[in-house]
Amino acid sequence: MPTAPPTAVLGAGSWGTALAISLARAGHPARLWARREEAAAEIARTRRNEAYLPGADVPRTVEVSSDLEAVVGGAAVWVVAVPSQSVRAVVAPLAGRIENETVIVSVAKGIETDTLLTTSAVLRDVLPAADAGRVGVLYGPSHAEEVAQERPTSVVAALPDPDTAAFVQDLFMTPSLRVYTNPDVVGVEVGGSVKNVMAVAAGMSDGLDLGDNAKAALVTRGLAEITRLGLALGADAHTFAGLAGLGDLVVTCFSRHSRNRAFGERVGRGETRAEALGHSTMVVEGVQTTASVRALARRHGVEMPITEAVWSILFDGLAPRDAVEALMTRSAAPETDPARGPAFDGTAA
Ligand SMILES: NC(=O)C1=CN([C@@H]2O[C@H](COP(=O)(O)OP(=O)(O)OC[C@H]3O[C@@H](n4cnc5c(N)ncnc54)[C@H](OP(=O)(O)O)[C@@H]3O)[C@@H](O)[C@H]2O)C=CC1
Ligand SMILES: O=C(CO)COP(=O)(O)O
């Protein structure tokens, strides 16, 4: 029987490794690209990626390599799983390797700082030969550690072409990984990216020991900010009540696995940005995304006070406690206010 073309997972960090494992367990041929030859060799030899996903077995059917061109050669699907700020540089050399049917799925969550583009927009920009309908994202509340342990997880495949979205849904679906589809690519990307800013804020709240009321307010008002920005960018409001909106926001603000939350907690306890980043080699997307989201919000006239506060703490030396006071003593306001940017009034399609 002919075997299906492989899926190429670009990036052998926590998430890329967990997705390659999940694909292999589902019986799909998978390849995993690590940028460092020694990292690829180590995973191939030990069938473990202890640096990024300790304890998880990488099935023998996952081909591991640091040869990017070889990894995408003949692959039907490219899964882009490197940090969002490196997506352009990693994928640009592959522009000539696109075939008519190539499906490209970003799982990197963030907004490029130089261009303020989401990762699927970066991919479309850097891969002009790709069919735009086949470029999208797979996002949602999905800590790699739990996916590797086959704990029940639900995510959303957002691609413009419905048949391709259904194909990606089917590819990743397993008894422990449930995949929904959503045509609202920009909404899913805004939800999945901006939640990292809110997770940093939630960690700061933990570090300052502000309590459960504060955390609940942060998540709720954070979702209001995410929704306002998303609507300004043309998203469907309903997306923000979904897995890539509320779902990913909740998991990242509360999970012990979240790197963004843990980073924020250290800053809340008094560490500088550099000190807090120094504790792990894993990416903390919320730092750069705070800068991009603030710029994007200002460009579109959307008020995002939590994002502004996180930016001032991370990039302008504001003490976290002073930021809390500033947020709590802002002028009195209604809960929904069109003057701050688009609000969901329940009438959107
Ligand atoms: N971890 C998770 O649970 C989830 C993560 N994501 C998203 O997936 C993306 C990847 O995250 P994750 O796997 O967790 O990250 P990790 O920090 O676990 O791993 C990062 C990986 O990317 C590589 N890398 C780092 N910088 C570059 C670069 N400039 N060019 C190429 N490769 C690079 C690293 O290689 P090296 O070892 O050589 O530095 C490493 O293999 C992020 O956008 C994240 O938000 C989404 C959902 C869940
Ligand atoms: O996006 C994630 C879970 O859905 C991962 O979040 P962290 O990067 O904060 O660990």
> Does residue 46 lie in a domain region?
yes
* CA of 196, closest atom in ligand 2: 9
Q: What is the pTM for the complete model shown?
A: 0.97
Residue 58 domain boundaries: 7-183
Query: Mind spelling out the 3-state secondary structure of 126-146?
Result: HCCCCCHHHEEEEECCCCHHH
Considering 151, 183, 215, which residue would you say is the last residue of a domain?
Answer: 183
Residue 156 sits in the same domain as residue 15? yes
Amino acid at 332: A
> Does the residue 2 lie in any domain?
no
Pocket test for ligand 1, best of 17, 19, 37, 82 (most atoms within 8 A of CB): 82
Question: Do 203 and 257 reside in the same domain of the chain?
Answer: yes
Is 322 found in the same domain as 191?
Answer: yes
For residue 115, the domain's CATH number is 3.40.50.720
The residue type found at 185 is: V
Task: Name the strand (E) or helix (H) holding 181.
Answer: strand 177-181
Of 152, 34, 200, nearest in space to 42 by CA: 34
Mean pLDDT, rounded, for 120-143: 98
Residue range 259-284, pLDDT digits in tens: 999 999 999 999 999 999 999 999 99
> Same domain for 329 and 219?
yes
Same domain, 234 and 275: yes
User: Residues 246, 273: one domain?
Assistant: yes
**Cα of 16 from ligand 1 centre, angstroms:** 7
Structural domains counted in the chain = 2
Q: Using CA atoms, how far apart are residues 249 and 196, in angstroms rounded to an integer?
A: 8
Domain boundary residue, one of 163, 183, 203: 183
Per-residue pLDDT for 344 more than 70? no
Same domain, 190 and 312: yes
User: Dihedral of CA 288/293/299/301: which sign?
Assistant: negative
Q: Is the ipTM of this complex over 0.85?
A: yes
For residues 179 and 295, state if they share a domain. no
Ligand 2 atom nearest 284 alpha carbon:
8
Is 211 found in the same domain as 86?
Answer: no
Ligand 2 centroid to Cα of residue 253, in Å, is 9
Q: Give the containing element (helix H, strand E) for 191.
A: helix 185-207
- 297 and 229 together in one domain: yes
**Cα 223 to Cα 229: distance, rounded to the nearest angstrom:** 10
CATH at residue 265: 1.10.1040.10
155: closest CA among 196, 191, 111?
Answer: 191
CA distance 126 to 91: 7
Are 182 and 206 a contacting pair, CB within 8 Å? Answer: no
Q: Does 347 reside within a domain?
A: no
Q: Are the beta carbons of 207 and 271 closer than 8 angstroms?
A: no
Looking at the predicted structure, is the pLDDT value of residue 20 above 80? yes
Annotated binding residues for NADPH, written as ranges, equal: 14-15, 35-36, 52, 109, 144, 259, 283, 285
Last residue of a domain, one of 165, 183, 201: 183
When computed from its CA atoms, the radius of gyration of the chain, rounded to whole angstroms, is 20
The span from the CA of 349 to the CA of 339, in Å, is: 22
53 and 19 fall within a common domain:
yes
One domain for residues 54 and 159: yes
Closest alpha carbon to 19 in 106, 86, 127 = 106
Q: Are strands 153-158 and 135-139 parallel, antiparallel or unpaired?
A: antiparallel
**Measured distance CA(217)–CA(105) in Å, rounded:** 33
pLDDT for the residue numbered 3: 74
349 assigned to some structural domain? no
Taking only the tens place, the pLDDT of each residue in 147-199 is 999 999 999 999 999 999 999 999 999 999 999 999 999 999 999 999 999 99
CA distance 123 to 93: 12
Does residue 345 lie in a domain region?
A: no
Q: Determine if ligand 1 sits within 6 Å of the CB of residue 341.
A: no
